[in-house]
Amino acid sequence: MECVEGETLAKRLEKGALLLEQVLKYRTQMADALDKAHRSGVVHRDLKPGNIMLTAAGAKLLDFGLAKPTVPPATAVTLAGSMKQSPVTEQGTIVGTFKYMSPEQVEGKEVDARSDVFSFVAVLYEMLTGRRAFEGKSHLSVASAILEREPSPINSVKPMTPPALDHAINKCLAKVPDERWQSASDLASELKWISESCSQAGVAGRVSAWRSRRERAAWLLAAALSVLLISGDVAWWHAENRRTPPMYFHTSVPFAANDLALSPDGRTLAMVAYSAQAEQLRALNL
């Protein structure tokens, strides 16, 4: 077997859910590997986090120990009666890991690529939410959940999950195989489209946020300049009003003025003066 360096997805999930960007990256590689297996005529039948390795090069799908040749859905009924089954794959025998089995696998029915699609998306659900799609305290309760209950919507756990991804996962977890994506290739194409849409939305969001920040900065700068201009106008107006305008006046005094005095506000002039007769009397008195 190939020696693969890295950690299993099960080990990584012990730390919690993965980021959406990581899930979208790994899911492409996982779906492509599953599609190659199906095109080669192999159904894995044991897809689970412990059989997926996360390496420096990406995700690798391992352990095909329970794999079996693909039985096309249209010919499953006719082939079941004509093909000799081994004890491991005999009708009614349950193989795999309960927590990630498809409904038909739990019931021991014949499985095809659509069963792997169900298990693959159950793993994808856990990668996104950090919890299993179908849980229980025993094999029986887990099997009951797989057959009868629907997992909680991903956006109820991760509100930022794209609705298209939530829809694709719900479709793949349908109880009836005919209601799911019919191949890993179809699912891979859908997930690739969702990934590209998320990337474009992310770029558009960043551009929009940058434009919003730029517009906000421009408005703040304009507001600051307006405040400065208004403050300058107000200061100038107060300065102009505090300034006392110069006063000029002309007066003629018909007699000699000996003393002059200007009032503090500059509006009144006081003077002391004597007429010529008063000067003569003053000289006589002296």
Residues in the chain where the model's pLDDT stays below 70: 1, 70-96, 198-212, 214, 233-234, 236-260, 266, 269, 272-286
pLDDT of residue 174: 92
* Strands 68-69 and 42-43, bridge-based pairing: antiparallel
Same domain, 275 and 174: no
pLDDT of residue 248: 58
Q: Has residue 220 been placed in a domain?
A: no
Same domain, 141 and 17: yes
Same domain, 141 and 267: no
Phi first, then psi: give them for residue 96, nearest 5 degrees.
Answer: 120, -165
Neighbours of 76 (CB within 10 A): 15
Q: Has residue 100 been placed in a domain?
A: yes
Question: Considering only CA atoms, which of 7, 15, 37 is closest in space to residue 116?
Answer: 37
Neighbours of 139 (CB within 10 A): 13
Q: Which of 203, 218, 233 is the last residue of a domain?
A: 203
Q: Has residue 211 been placed in a domain?
A: no
Q: Has residue 250 been placed in a domain?
A: no
Same domain, 197 and 261: no
Q: Has residue 229 been placed in a domain?
A: no
Q: Has residue 19 been placed in a domain?
A: yes
Active-site choice (46, 112, 116, 166):
46
Helix (H, G, I), strand (E, B) or coil at 26: helix
pLDDT of residue 89: 41
Cα first-last separation, the chain: 143
Same domain, 31 and 170: yes
pTM: 0.60
Beta-bridge partners for 7: 54
CATH code, domain with 34: 1.10.510.10
Q: Which of 137, 172, 203 is the last residue of a domain?
A: 203
Task: Provide the residue range defining the domain that includes 71.
Answer: 7-203
Residue 46 among the catalytic residues:
yes
Are 161 and 153 in contact by the 8 Å Cβ rule? The answer is no
Cα 57 from chain centre = 26
Same domain, 199 and 262: no
Domain total of the chain: 2
Same domain, 271 and 143: no
Rounded distance between C-alpha atoms, residue 251 and residue 208, angstroms? 77
Same domain, 54 and 167: yes
Q: Has residue 140 been placed in a domain?
A: yes
- What's the token pair of residue 69? 């040749």
pLDDT of residue 182: 87
Q: Has residue 59 been placed in a domain?
A: yes
